[in-house]
Amino acid sequence: MKIKGNIDFRIITNEDELDGEFSKWEEIAIHGDPEGLLSFANLLIEIANINQDNIDENELPTGERKHIYLNPSIDISKSSSPIIIGRLDAKGTHEFYECYKPKE
């Protein structure tokens, strides 16, 4: 699983004021050239298609989640924030982690 092309991941902090009320939020910006974006999309598809239950217990114990690290300067741009891409569902139990809040 290797990213080809150019891709950049940045956390952007925003602030705004309206009628004396201040709000602050973060956004994750993902920008890339066509090759970089397609390569990232293929990486996501590859992780989504992995059958975690078939991975050896020594490599991925039950209850753990398949994930990979994308490191600045090595896998992605030097200006990127470090990235972890992973499955939400755990091997064997298929449970999500506790702090996950669905989009409902």
Reported as a pLDDT band with limits 50, 70 and 90, residue 2 is: confident
CA distance 103 to 97: 15
pLDDT of residue 45: 97
HSE value, Cβ hemisphere, 13 Å, CA-based, for 20: 0
**Token pair in block for residue 44:** 């996501």
pLDDT at 1 over 80: no
pLDDT in tens, 36-63: 999 999 999 999 999 999 999 999 999 9
> Assign residue 89 a region: left if phi > 0, alpha if psi is -120 to 50, beta otherwise?
beta
Instruction: Please answer whether residues 26 and 12 qualify as being in contact, where contact means their C-beta atoms are separated by less than 8 angstroms.
Output: yes
> pTM (2 decimals)?
0.84
CB atoms near residue 57 (< 10 Å): 10
CA distance 18 to 4: 42
